[in-house]
Structures are given as structure tokens and as C-alpha cells.
Amino acid sequence: MSDQTHSGRGGAKGVLRSSQDFAAGLFLIFIALFALYLGWKLPMGTLRSMGPGMLPISLAFMVGAGGAALVAMSLTTDGEKLTRWSVRGLFFIVASILVFAYTVQTMGLIVAGPASMLVAMMASEDIKWVEGIIFCVLMTVLCSLMFKTLLGLPIPINNLW
Amino acid sequence: MSDLLANLYLGFGVALSLKNLGLCFVGCMVGTLIGVLPGVGPIATIAMLLPITFGIDPTGALIMLAGIYYGAQYGGSTTSILVNIPGEATSVVTCLDGHQMARQGRAGVALGIAAIGSFFAGCVSTIFIAAIGVPLSKVAQLFGPAEYFSLMVMGLVFATVLARGSVLKAICMILLGLLFATVGTDLVTGQERLTLGIQDLSDGIDFAPMAMGMFGFAEIIKNLENVETRDVVQQKIGRLMPNLEEYKQSAWPIIRGTVVGGILGILPGNGAVLGPFASYTLEKKLAKDPSRFGKGAIEGVAGPESANNAGAQTAFIPLLTLGIPPNAVMALMVGAMTIHGIVPGPQVMTKNPELFWGMVASMWVGNAMLVIINLPLIGMWVSLLKVPYRLMFPAIGIFCCIGIYSINNSVNDVVSTAAFSIFGYALVKFGFEPAPMLLGFVLGKLMEEKLRQAMILSRGSFMTFVERPLSAALLAVALIMLIVAVLPSIRAKRDVVFVED
């Protein structure tokens, strides 16, 4: 991570003077193109009576223009560098949300809670299994009591038996 | 004047009923509990706790939500003072001197003055809202579609100016938010737009999963990148009540903070964010010895905290009188009102006076409650903050999941939260601020509606926006703000304000 930290102002080599702005611009252009691809068939209407396509299409153009401006700026102005993505954190956190989503209705919080929390814990390098498992069980009990019993949310607790 | 008193009397009658007092108490309590968790700001807290208000009558539900909101605000300040981790932009300033005070063994006094300052600010802004509510909702009746549209443009421009970092990037975020808002069924023709053929998207993108993904989970992923360096104060908390000397030092900062924060809070476009910064800068300028700031000056806590709370409350004004949510928190309030069948706007005051005045009165009650319940509970918050992050983030995650699932009992909402977490993390990596995008998204539907109405009325001429004096004035203010923000000399100052943390 040493040379990739975010304090990368100045002293850039090559054409790109801000890899973060460059990537950000491309990201916006991609979104704009995608929106245009989805929406190009929508009728524009006239200014007097705007059709459903007027705003999505014009906004997509504006977002694309913003992206292009960012790309242009990244070639002329020094700025931040793109920092490394934390793939591990991203993967396990997103996975934990999905685990929750796909178990909560069928099996209930009794499975969704511990399973999702254990997956989430793997996102951190600082993981202690025994402590983690005890914590997950306690938290699941606590959540059931707090959200179901006390606050009366209609969340399924146990659909297993 | 007698009207005002009669209205407040009605409001307090509602707010002081045993049931509503209880709801306000529970709201403040859970709000603080969640708000204290590092990295969980008011937006994530409210999105998470929204479902617990569903089973309650509308008035009770809004009173409880308001309680959650103040609780979350206050919880954020507590974390700033004790751990030096701001839960959201507005508590960044509190970290500066508050955490220093804590390190000097004066955490109790810092928390105490924050609570007292907030309470004072809360009292003043409650009266302010009550007094200004009726006249402003009369002004709202002068607003046609063109004025509404221009007002929202002004709000978005403010949001750009107030965002940190590059103005260009903030503008891009607002446009992206507006683009996202067009997803779903067209208001006029009923045609599906940009829905990818997904059934759930025909009602548009849901706000809560989006806010939760971008503010709850993306924040967790971001925090996991850095090895944790949380330094919970080891020093003793000390006495809570400030002494006479400290009261004297804080009195004027609290009053000035309340005025500054309260006025900025009314501005559409999340002016409340600016309050604490403005107050801190002001106190530092006025101080006899500015070098004390950043080293535990009590004025640096008292002023910004009062400004923060005043702004948090006056932010309700655009929502309640014009029906325009000025920030993401208020947008969640709109969601909650809609679920209970209330359309926010000037008509709330006349159609549901109990709800309107009850809510205004409950703002005062909520603030009083925070002082009473929080100060004795500080020990509990301290021990909660000592829980290591490796255990804290899975717990935050599960709260978020349960909250999002419970809003509609929908698995798809949870899945789209996952998608928005990835999206939100990408935005962080590309150096974008998510807040302006959320505001653009929140205002998008209403702006499109008003724009289309205005263009029909003007027979397709954009001149209507500058020909109508009120609309022209609003746009002129927006233009001036934008120019000011881009001017190099002022830009430099703006950067200084935001870099001060």
C-alpha cells in the first residue's frame, strides 16, 4: 500500500495526472451510456409537453459530459491517485448481506443472523473465531428479543421447525 | 401571538400525553444507542429504525422518529468527544476541541455543555419553527411550479457549494442522483423508464436501501481498509456539570451558535451542515486568544454543538412548510410520512394540526429528554465504545439488514442494499461524496413534476423561470453562490474550512 496511499498530489508521471479523476470520469461516462442504451427509445416529446424520455436522456447527456470533463481534467490538473480496492472487505460484506437476504425468509433470523454475521467477520483481518461465534449467538438472541419481542417487527425468527 | 400560544398549547397537549412521551423516550433512547456506534450517522440510524415506527399512529410515529433523529445526533456528538470519530460531517468540528477536552479529563464537561447548548438551541428553534411556520406556509401558496423548481435548483446548488472537495464532482453527483430519480414509471404517460424490465423498479428506486447501502455498508467497507486506531479516552470522564466560569465562557458561543445554525438550517440543500463549521470559525475569530482552539477550548464545543442542533431542527421548516426535504434525513422523514398517508407540505398544518404542532412540541420534549437520559448514561456509552470494531461492524451490519428487510418485508430490498453498497464503495474510491447524489435523487421526482408543469404553463418557454420575479430571485441567488464557490480566492477559503479537521 505504501506507494498507493491517497496522498498522491503532485509529481505525477506520464499523461495521467490524476488516476482517480480519470477513473471517476470513465465511470460516469459508462453510466451515462448505459442509461442512454436503456432509454434511447423513450419519446422525447416537446418542451411544451415533455415526453417520458426528455429528462432521462438529457440528464444522461449531462452526466456523460460531467464524466468527460473529469477525464479532461485528469489529464491537465494534478489530483488524487486511485487507491487500491479492499476486495476482501467488499466481498465479504456484500456476501453477508446476500446471505441474510436469502436465508431470512425461508429459515428465519435463527440462521440468517449468525450466518450473515460470521461471513461479515471474515471481512476483517482481525478475526477471532471462538469469540466471534459466541458473539453471533448472543447478538441473534438479542436481536430477536429487541426487534421481535420488544419492538414487534414482523421478522421471521424460526422457520426451521 | 395568541395564535402561537394556542398552537403551542395544542402541540404540548399532544406531545405530553403519556403514550407520546413514551414514544419520544424510546425514540431518543434507541436513536442514541445506534447513533453512538462509530461510523453510523443519522441517515443510517433512521433508515435502520424506520420500521419500528410502522405500527404506531402517524402522530406518534413522527414523534418517535424525531426522537430517533435527535438521539442519533446526540449519539454522534458523544462519539466525537469520546473517540474522535465523527459519525457524520456535522460532528467533525466537535472532535477538534471536544476530544481534546476529553483527553484532559474533562469529557464530562464537554458532554455536559454539548447537551446544555443543544437543549438551549432546541428551545429557541422550537419557538422559531412555531413562529415562522404559519407565515412561511402562506408564502408557499404564492409558489407556482416555476418557483418550486427554482427553489430546488437553488437547494441543489447549495448542496454543491457545501460538499467537500471538487465542485465539478459534486455537480456530477447531483446529476447522477437526478438521473437515478427518473428510473421508474413516467408520471404523465405511465411509460416505464430505464427499468431493465425489473418489476420492482417500476415504482422507482427505493430510497432506504440506497441510503443504507451508501451510508451504512459502504462506510463499513471503507473503515475496514484502515487498521483501526480508535482511541477511546482512557482518562476519567469527570464531573458533568460545567462550573460558573465555564458557563460564562460558553453562554455567548451557545447563543451565537444557535442563531447561525438555525438560520443556515432553513436553507434547502443541507445548509445545516455548514452551521457547526460557521460557528467554530466565528468563535475562533471572536476569541481573545484563538490559539486555545484545538486544544480543548470549551467555546469550540458549545458553539458548534448548539449550531448543529439548531440546524437539525430548523431543517424541518422547508419540509413542513414547502414539502421539500432539504437533506437525506428529511427525505427519510418524507418516506415515513408517506407510509402513514401524510403528504408533507403546507397543507399538513391545516389538515393535521395535532400532528404538526404535536411534532413541533415534541422537538422541545425530545431535547429535554436527551439532557435527562443521556448524561446519566455516559458510562454505558463509554463501555459500548470500547467494543472492538471486529465485533462492532458485524453487529451494525445485522441491524442494517433487519431494518431494511423490515421496511417492506422484502428480500429484494436487502439485495438492492447489497448492490448499493458496492456502488457506494465505488463512489468513495472515485473520490465522490455520496450526500449530494442522495439529495439530487430525493428532489428529482418533484423537480421533474414541477418542471413539466411549468413548461406546460409557459407553453414551452424557459423564460418563465426568469420572468417570474420570485423564481428569478431564487435562481440569481443560486448563480451567485455557484460563482462564489468557483472563484479561486473563495475556493481556497472553503477548502480551509473543510480541511480544518
- Contacts A53 to B, Cβ<8 Å: 193
A144 touching chain B per CB within 8 A: no
Instruction: Read off the C-alpha cell for B229.
Output: 486506531
Answer positive or negative: Cα dihedral of B255, B23, B86, B209.
negative
Low-confidence winner among A22-26, A111-115, B298-302 (lowest mean pLDDT): B298-302
**How would residue B381 be classed by pLDDT, with cut points 50, 70 and 90?**
confident
Across residues A55-78, what is the average pLDDT? 91
Which residue in the set A118, A126, A153 is minimally distant from B52, CB to CB? A153
Which residue in the set A52, A67, A135 is minimally distant from B189, CB to CB? A52
Across residues B111-139, what is the average pLDDT? 86
Coil, strand or helix: which one is A50? strand
Confirm if A94 and A119 have CB atoms less than 8 A apart.
no
**How would residue B88 be classed by pLDDT, with cut points 50, 70 and 90?**
low
If one counts every other C-beta atom within 10 angstroms of the C-beta of residue B263, the result is: 17
Cβ separation B401–A21 shorter than 8 A: no
**How would residue B421 be classed by pLDDT, with cut points 50, 70 and 90?**
very high
How far does B251 lie from chain A, in Å, by closest CA? Answer: 40
Number of domains in chain B: 1
Residue type, B30: V
Instruction: Read off the C-alpha cell for A56.
Output: 432521462
Give the pLDDT confidence score for residue B293 in this predicted structure: 84
Residue A10 has pLDDT above 50, yes or no: no
How far does A39 lie from chain B, in Å, by closest CA? Answer: 6
**How would residue A22 be classed by pLDDT, with cut points 50, 70 and 90?**
very high
Residue A29 has pLDDT above 90, yes or no: yes
Residue A61 has pLDDT above 80, yes or no: yes
How far does B42 lie from chain A, in Å, by closest CA? Answer: 19
Cβ separation A97–B417 shorter than 8 A: yes
Closest CA to A35 of B106, B196, B112: B196
Cβ separation B220–A93 shorter than 8 A: yes
- Give CA–CA dist B355/B68, Å, rounded: 17
How far does A108 lie from chain B, in Å, by closest CA? Answer: 11
Give the pLDDT confidence score for residue B230 in this predicted structure: 65
Confirm if B342 and B58 have CB atoms less than 8 A apart.
yes
Which residue in the set B179, B397, B422 is minimally distant from A59, CB to CB? B179
Residues B239-255 have pLDDT tens digits of 777 888 888 888 899 99
Q: Using a pLDDT cut of 90, give the percent of chain B over it.
A: 11
Angle ∠(B155,B146,B435) on CA atoms, nearest 5: 20
Across residues B407-427, what is the average pLDDT? 92
Which stretch, B2-6, B197-201, B421-425, B493-497, has highest mean pLDDT? Answer: B421-425
- Contacts B189 to A, Cβ<8 Å: 51-52
Instruction: Read off the C-alpha cell for B454.
Output: 411549468
Domain region containing B290: 2-499
Cβ separation B179–A28 shorter than 8 A: no
Q: Which of the residues B172, B428, B461 would you substitute to probe the A interface, choosing the one with the greatest number of A C-beta atoms within 10 Å?
A: B172
What ranges in B37-106 are assigned the alpha helix state H? 42-49, 58-83, 92-94, 100-101
Residue type, B227: V
* B376 Cβ contact list (under 8 Å, min separation 6): none
Residues B314-355 have pLDDT tens digits of 888 888 888 888 888 888 888 888 888 888 887 887 888 888
Which residue in the set A49, A56, A135 is minimally distant from B391, CB to CB? A135
Q: If you count them, how many residues does chain B have?
A: 501
- Mean of the per-residue pLDDT values for chain B? 84
A56 touching chain B per CB within 8 A: yes
How far does B324 lie from chain A, in Å, by closest CA? Answer: 20
Give the pLDDT confidence score for residue A1 in this predicted structure: 34
- Give CA–CA dist A113/A96, Å, rounded: 10
Cβ separation B194–A135 shorter than 8 A: no
- Contacts B462 to A, Cβ<8 Å: 47
- More confident call, B476 vs A149: B476
Coil, strand or helix: which one is B196? coil
Which residue in the set A24, A88, A113 is minimally distant from B431, CB to CB? A24
Q: Using a pLDDT cut of 70, give the percent of chain B over it.
A: 94
**How would residue A155 be classed by pLDDT, with cut points 50, 70 and 90?**
confident
